[in-house]
Amino acid sequence: MIGSTRRLSVYAYGQPCDMRKSFDALSGLVTQELGRDFLSGDVFLFVGRDRKRAKALFWDGTGLCLYAKRLEKGRFAPLWQRESGVQPLVLTVSELALFLEGSELVGRAPLLPAPYTLKPLFQPEAVDVVTS
């Protein structure tokens, strides 16, 4: 669906969304409610109250894309129950693919471990300098 050679962040809107919203209304939610730039190239995911429909807003570098999907059977995961308020749930592209396939597991546990940070092998000790 969304092809890219760079790492994308996916932000799922933290409340049910009216699926009649268009490009402009959804980009307004991204800017005003989430405090993010919809032209950043990240993907913004919105789910309807009945969880049968979802939309993904994405800037591909040449224009704003709006992908929509309606499930014939089952429902999308209720992403707004995972977080309180409007705070977005951050997903990976793999989790987005699972979500759009109708997986209920999305958002329950991260697929990727937390980023590893290198720690120094030894700590330089403070050296007392004696001046004479």
Residue 110's alpha-carbon distances to 20, 38, 49, in angstroms, are 30, 24, 24
pLDDT tens-digit readout, 20-65: 999 999 999 999 988 899 888 899 999 999 989 999 999 888 999 9
How would residue 97 be classed by pLDDT, with cut points 50, 70 and 90? confident
How would residue 111 be classed by pLDDT, with cut points 50, 70 and 90? low
Report which DSSP code applies to 7: P
Whole-angstrom distance, CA of residue 59 vs CA of residue 43: 8
Whether the predicted model's global pTM rises above the 0.85 cut: no
Name the average pLDDT for the chain: 79
Residue 59's alpha-carbon distances to 38, 41, 43, 64, 126, in angstroms, are 7, 5, 8, 5, 50
pLDDT confidence of residue 44: 93
Q: Say if CB 46 and CB 29 are below 8 A apart.
A: yes
